[in-house]
Amino acid sequence: MKLREETAADIPLIRALITRAFAPMPFSSQTEAAIVDALRDRGKLSVSLIAEDEGNVVGHVAFSPVAIDGADLGWYGLGPIAVAPEWQGQGIGRALMDAGLALGARGCVLLGDPAFYSRFGFQADAKLTLPGVPAEYFQAATFSGDTPSGEVTYDEGFSAS
């Protein structure tokens, strides 16, 4: 299993993987694959890392820029992240997170289960808000400088369906 940036040939495999990984998740809008496509089309898929095993895409994570009170402060949104069901629980999610977070963002936000993401240094922070979601699920990690304050806006690609 190795991690690398996506190539054009991976795109259909990424789409299929994300669809399969999120299919059983009750919280899922089932739009995650469309979101990654939309981010890519809009030039906002800053990092698209895959985990590959013998030509199969078994894991994927996307990072895209977010605005904070409308400003680009070098912060990114992490997600969606997906590991193929039969490969889950073997450290691939952790490896994708670690590799993506090492790529030089000042900070990252994400929406997800605190039980999973707290181990990567993410926590809810009252300074950074995302309207319309339960505050404890919106988490941030700061990698350099101070944590900014403001309302976070994801790229429009997240409205894709």
Ligand X SMILES: CC(C)(COP(=O)(O)OP(=O)(O)OC[C@H]1O[C@@H](n2cnc3c(N)ncnc32)[C@H](O)[C@@H]1OP(=O)(O)O)[C@@H](O)C(=O)NCCC(=O)NCCS
Q: Which is nearer to ligand X, 69 or 136 (CB)?
A: 136
E-assigned strands of the chain?
A: 2-5, 47-53, 56-65, 67-68, 75-83, 107-111, 128-129, 138-142, 150-153
Q: Which is nearer to ligand X, 9 or 115 (CB)?
A: 115
> Can you say how many angstroms the Cα of residue 93 is from the centroid of all Cα atoms in its chain?
11
Q: How far apart are CA 32 and CA 110, in angstroms?
A: 14
Task: Please report how close the Cβ of residue 108 comes to ligand X at its closest, in angstroms.
Answer: 13
Q: Which is nearer to ligand X, 71 or 103 (CB)?
A: 103
Q: Which is nearer to ligand X, 75 or 138 (CB)?
A: 138
Do 52 and 17 contact (CB within 8 A), yes or no? no
Task: Please report how close the Cβ of residue 71 comes to ligand X at its closest, in angstroms.
Answer: 26
Q: Which residues contribute to the site for ligand X (CB under 6 A)?
A: 21-22, 25, 81-83, 88-94, 112-113, 115-116
Do 15 and 55 contact (CB within 8 A), yes or no? no
Residue closest to ligand X (Cβ): 93
Q: Which is nearer to ligand X, 90 or 147 (CB)?
A: 90
Closest CA to 14 of 113, 84, 63: 84
As a whole number of Å, the CA-based R_g of the chain is 15
Task: Please report how close the Cβ of residue 142 comes to ligand X at its closest, in angstroms.
Answer: 20
Q: How far apart are CA 37 and CA 15, in angstroms?
A: 8
Task: Please report how close the Cβ of residue 94 comes to ligand X at its closest, in angstroms.
Answer: 3
Task: Please report how close the Cβ of residue 35 comes to ligand X at its closest, in angstroms.
Answer: 12
